[in-house]
Amino acid sequence: MRFVARIVVGVIGAVLCTVPCSAFGQTSGAQKAVVVTGASSGIGRKITERLAANGFFVYAGARAPKDLDELNAIKNVQGVRLDVTSASDIAAAVTLVSKAGRGLYGVVNNAGVVVVAPMIEVEEKDLDFIFQVNMYGPYRITKAFAPMLLESKGRVVNISSLNGIVASPMIGAYSMSKHAVEAYGDALAGELGRFGVRVSLIEPGNYGTEIGRNLLARMDTAVVKGSRFETQLRSTINSMRQFENNPPPDDVADAVLDAFTNENPKMRYLVVPVANQGAIAIRKLMDEIVQLNSDHKFSYSRDTLVKMLDDALARSKRR
């Protein structure tokens, strides 16, 4: 028996603005414009509100007319019909932003979905579904708006996830898509940096969102019975039921604001509500270093590895 659930979500992470945020949002008297995908609720909505409150004009992507009406009611926000899997929606959004005459300073690729299923039971169509949104979505949006971003020497912010670093059972498809977002962000940063466009990745931990409620609304829990992984699946579902009890995702909006306003934005913002979530990610990366360095003819000594870490820390302080 296969278990699959699809959920539209926003993802999270944050660092507080390092200078008074009210000082930004204007360049030579012009209001900076930003496109935010998946802005109807949760993290995307919080990002939209935070940027708009700090002087940016936000083209807030959503699909439902009710959500668009609510977004239009916010000062400095214009709701835009935008499904990141729809070529016609994306083309119309580019036309709208181009004709508005504000230019475009940045894009926040926030729209995302989750597929919950064991890797040996998930169906190919569901992998295609999650990659169409989580990976091809940022690719499509950034490519479509690239001429405007190059002209403004602007910013691209990709909302990744802690699961872009740590792959977890039962949400392996989601982790796969977010690992892809990590690679995409690295490649994009290397390519666009020479044109003055800065790229940031935000890797959030577990913040309170509607992910659990959406999961339960979209799935038939009866399909769990009979799975080889029934016990693990039920545990995952129970965790999802409690997801809204996590801290609110205000930090994500602060991280995005910093990525747009800091003269030297970070490439990565690992933002977690509790210390152990950050430790999991850092320890995972260290474990991978040890695995890659183990038992081959070019392995480094411990002293060399420590010096490499010291050098990397020194470089980060100079940036």
- Which pLDDT score is estimated for 226? 84
More confident residue, 318 or 146: 146
DSSP letter for each residue of the chain:
-----EEEE--------SS-GGG-SEETTEEPEEEESS-SSHHHHHHHHHHHHTT-EEEEEESSHHHHHHHHTSTTEEEEE--TT-HHHHHHHHHHHHHHTS---EEEE--EEEE---TTT--HHHHHHHHHHHTHHHHHHHHHHHHHHHHHT-EEEEE--GGGTS--TT-HHHHHHHHHHHHHHHHHHHHHGGGT-EEEEEEE-----SHHHHHHHH--GGGGTT-TTHHHHHHHHHHHHTGGGSPPTHHHHHHHHHHHH-SS--SEEEE-SSHHHHHHHHHHHHHHHHHHHSSSTTPPPHHHHHHHHHHHHHHHHH-
Q: What tens digit of pLDDT does each residue of 63-101 get?
A: 999 999 999 999 999 999 999 999 999 999 999 999 999
User: What's the CA gap between 221 and 160, in Å, rounded?
Assistant: 28
Q: What tens digit of pLDDT does each residue of 94-132 get?
A: 999 999 999 999 999 999 988 888 999 988 998 999 999
- Which pLDDT score is estimated for 240? 73
Q: What tens digit of pLDDT does each residue of 180-213 get?
A: 999 999 999 999 999 999 999 999 988 767 666 6
Q: Which residues pair with 197 in a beta bridge?
A: none
Average pLDDT over residues 309-315: 92
AA identity, residue 305: L
- Which pLDDT score is estimated for 22? 36
Q: What tens digit of pLDDT does each residue of 152-174 get?
A: 999 999 999 999 999 999 999 99
Catalytic residues: 174
Q: What tens digit of pLDDT does each residue of 212-252 get?
A: 666 666 666 666 888 899 999 888 878 877 777 878 889 98
Q: What tens digit of pLDDT does each residue of 275-291 get?
A: 999 999 999 999 999 99
Structure token pair of residue 188:
């994009």
What Rg do the C-alpha atoms of the chain give, in angstroms? 20
Nearest to 14 by CA among 250, 317, 182: 250
- Which pLDDT score is estimated for 17? 34
- Which pLDDT score is estimated for 319? 61
User: What is the signed CA dihedral for 198, 129, 252, 310, rounded to 10 degrees?
Assistant: -60
Average pLDDT over residues 258-281: 93
**CA 169 vs CA 22, 116, 198: distances in Å:** 42, 9, 33
Average pLDDT over residues 6-12: 40
Q: CA quadruple 122, 126, 132, 138: dihedral positive or negative?
A: negative
Q: Which residues contact 60 (CB under 8 A, 6 or more apart)?
A: 36, 39, 40, 44, 48, 71, 74, 77, 78, 79, 80
Cβ-based burial of 228 (10 A; exposed 0-12, middle 13-18, buried ≥19)? exposed
